[in-house]
Amino acid sequence: MLAPDIKREPPMLYLASQSPRRRDLLGQLAATFSVLDVDVTEQRAIDESPKDYVHRVAHDKARAGLASLDANQRTDAIVLGADTEVVLDGDVFGKPRDVADATAMLHRLSGRTHEVISAVWLVCADRELGDVCVSRVRFAKLDEASIAAYVASGEPFGKAGAYAIQGRGATLIEHLEGSYSGVMGLPLFETARLLRNFGIVPL
Ligand SMILES: Cc1cn([C@H]2C[C@H](O)[C@@H](COP(=O)(O)OP(=O)(O)OP(=O)(O)O)O2)c(=O)[nH]c1=O
C-alpha cells in the first residue's frame, strides 16, 4: 500500500516591523506576508560596536516577533526583523527625538560621509540567520536655512539620521556607495539571499 500523501503547509512569512518602508521593500520580494507589532528596546551597550548593535537589534526584533506568535503559528513561521542606524565618528544616530535633535544630526552630517548600517535577521522555530549591509553616504554642505526647511517638512522624523533617501532627503545626498534599499531600511540583495536560504523564492 502507498504511504498517504502528507502535505506540509508552506512556511508563512512575517515582518516584525512597523516601518512602512520595510513593508514596501519586502513587498518587492514576497507576494504575501503578515506584519507583527513588536516592541524592542533600542539601547546600545557601552562596549558594543555600532555593527554589533544593529545586528543585535534586528535579531531581537525577529525573536520578539516569533515569540509573539502562538505555538501553532510558530511551527511554520519565518520571521524577519531589521534595523537601520546612521553612524558618524563612532556615534550612532537613531531616529531624532524632536526638532532640536533632528537639526543637530543634520548639522553633523552636513558636508561629511557617514555610514548607514542595516541588518536583517530571519528566524524560525529551529534556525536563524542574519546579514548586515554597510553603505557610505556623502552629504552636501547644508546651510542653516535648508536644514530648518527640511526639518520643518517633517520628513526627518521616524528616520535614522533624520533624513530619507527615498524622499526630499535625496537632494541632500552627493554620493552613495552601497545599497539604496539598505539605506532605506531593508537591504534587498541580502534579504533575498536569506529568504532563499529559508526556502522562500523571492519574486
Ligand atoms: C537613513 C534612512 C532611514 N530610514 C528609516 C528606515 C527605518 O524605518 C528607520 C530606522 O529605524 P529602525 O529602528 O531601524 O526602524 P523603525 O523603528 O522605523 O521600525 P521597526 O523597528 O518597527 O522595524 O529609518 C528611511 O526611511 N530612509 C533613510 O534614508
C-alpha 184 – ligand 1 centre gap (Å): 7
In the chain, helix, strand, coil percent, each to 5? Answer: 35, 25, 35
Q: Which residues contact 80 (CB under 8 A, 6 or more apart)?
A: 13, 14, 15, 16, 17, 26, 33, 62, 65, 120, 121, 122, 191
182 by DSSP, 3-state: which? helix
Alpha helices in 71-130 (DSSP H): 71-75, 99-109
C-alpha 97 – ligand 1 centre gap (Å): 13
Q: Whole-number mean pLDDT of the chain?
A: 95
Q: Give residue ranges with CB within 6 A of ligand 1.
A: 17-19, 21-22, 42, 61, 82-84, 86, 95, 116, 158-161, 163-166, 169, 183-185
Please state the pTM of the whole predicted model.
0.94
Q: Given pLDDT bands bounded at 50, 70 and 90, which one contains residue 201?
A: confident
Q: Which three cell numbers stand for residue 39?
A: 516592541
Q: Are 188 and 181 in contact (CB under 8 A)?
A: yes
pLDDT in tens, 35-65: 999 999 889 999 999 999 999 999 999 999 9
Nearest-angstrom CA–CA distance, 140 and 22: 26
pLDDT of residue 203: 87
Identify which of 87, 95, 116, 134 to mutate to test ligand 1's pocket (most ligand atoms within 8 A of the CB).
95
State the ipTM, two decimals: 0.98
pLDDT of residue 8: 60
- Decide if pLDDT at 110 tops 90: yes
- Decide if pLDDT at 6 tops 60: no
